[in-house]
Structure 1
Amino acid sequence: MRSRKLWSASLLVGLLGCVTNGCATNAPRPVVSSPPSPVGAPSPTSLPANPLDDPAAPVEVVARAVVAQRQMKDRAFKEDEDSPVPADQRATFTGLAYFPFDAKYRFVATLEPCPQPEVIETETTRPDDTRRYRCAGVFRFTVDGVACRLVALTPDLGVSDAATDLFIPFRDTTAGTQTYPAGRYLQLKRRGDNAYVLDFNQAFNPYCAYGGNYSCPLPPPENHLTVAIRAGEMRWK
């Protein structure tokens, strides 16, 4: 199955703003489709189709779903013609590097309103390129006793709630050693009840982490964490 069928296409190109050779179809996208139902998981009547997005999903079900999601992404990165893995390296590609699943990095968090309507301009991995976003809200959570705060973004299209997805670029103290130096991303589907699963086990690298001619948004200063987030994708090579 082609990875473009596995990856979300809902305004994500505009959201992440990564460009290669003038074409944005290869933007750094996570695998966000529902993984196959884990063996022994509760029936569909007791859980949503995707436990990764369910605040009430049992931890053991979520852990199996994360593993399934990673396996699906690894297959796509190896087989898809649009993979960010360089073509001459795909034959020997055996998968991305990940931290083991750790439930302590999975939070149910409320999306708080922005202090004021705010346009945030971010730098990108290209020195002559920037991206404009709107603050969609703020998440607060605690890691190892440290209070943390992340701003969720949507594209600055002149309309509030311009996209269904929330884009959360962040950088933590593992950047440059265990994880990609420029930072990593989270992407969340909007919810009506404002109770979100903020799961860093699903944190992913921008396509720029794999080389190529991409332009990827950098986390704004507001999203630089002073703690280590040892969850999600690790540094490639």
Structure 2
Amino acid sequence: MTDDNADAADADSGVDPDDEWVSQLREMRAEKDEFFASDPQSPLDPAHSDGFDGLDYFDPNPAYRVEADVTVHDDLETTELTVRNGTAERFHEVATLSFTVPTADGDAVEETLSALRAEGSRALFLPFRDKTTGQQTYDGGRYMDLHPKGDLADVDAVTLDFNLAYTPFCAFSDAFACPLPPTENWLDVAVPAGERTPDLE
């Protein structure tokens, strides 16, 4: 999408294209597209790289940038996630994130996501499915990563930006394995934000 087309799409959706958040999001998407197109570590199969002209994204939408209350688990439980193209992987269930997300008819619903952490990692891993999964987005679900500052126990809330939701690498190549979202992270609402189903034709 060209800058002019992006600005027009933002105007149609009521988003100010000059907003700093929108500008940063556009820049991050451009950098990721460049990585996919030219970096040796790109997950793209060489058969698809020549015709690649960027990932497909939903238009930026601040309505899907929500504040989530954080409930840290006193006792860390371990969960095993089924992995596409690989073996099961273990994660610690470290917190539950509670938030409100808009619906297509203008209402809002309360949802939760289990925040996971791999052994030795500080980042929170949020694999999820929603009502776009298998329709407008990858059928294996999408991911978000959070990097809270300081001790998570000292954090009351975090920002969940579904505009940053991304497709796991296994959607682009069988050489990659990706954990599938646990059932507690299956949302009952469509989240039309972030990356769409990859177009690899």
Indicate the TM-score class for this superposition, using the shorter chain for normalisation: 0.7 to 0.9
Q: CA deviation at 1:116?
A: 4.2
Counterpart among 177, 192, 214 of residue 135 in structure 2: 177
Does residue 1:78 correspond to 2:41, yes or no?
Answer: no
Q: CA deviation at 1:114?
A: 2.4
Counterpart among 84, 87, 92 of residue 51 in structure 2: 92
More strand by share: 2
CA distance in 2, matches of 1:191, 1:219: 25
The equivalent of 2:160 in structure 1 is: 198
Given the two structures, how large is their TM-score scaled by the length of structure 1? Answer: 0.69
The equivalent of 1:218 in structure 2 is: 180
TM alignment of 1:2-81, pairs within 5 A: 60-81=19-40
CA distance in 2, matches of 1:211, 1:110: 35
Query: What amino acid is aligned across from residue 55 of structure 2 in structure 1?
Result: L
CA distance in 2, matches of 1:215, 1:111: 29
Q: Structure 2, unaligned stretches of length 5 or more?
A: 1-17, 103-107
The equivalent of 1:148 in structure 2 is: 111
Give yes or no for contact 1:84–1:212 (8 Å, CA) kept in 2.
Answer: no
The equivalent of 1:108 in structure 2 is: 67
Query: What amino acid is aligned across from residue 121 of structure 2 in structure 1?
Result: A
Find runs of 4+ consecutive structure 1 residues off by over 3 angstroms. Answer: none
Cα RMSD, aligned residues only: 1.6
CA distance in 2, matches of 1:215, 1:233: 19
Q: CA deviation at 1:110?
A: 3.0
Query: What amino acid is aligned across from residue 203 of structure 1 in structure 2?
Result: A
Instruction: Give the count of matched residue pairs.
Output: 173
CA distance in 1, matches of 2:72, 2:188: 23
Q: CA deviation at 1:178?
A: 0.1
Given the two structures, how large is their TM-score scaled by the length of structure 2? Answer: 0.81
2:50 is paired with a residue whose SS is helix
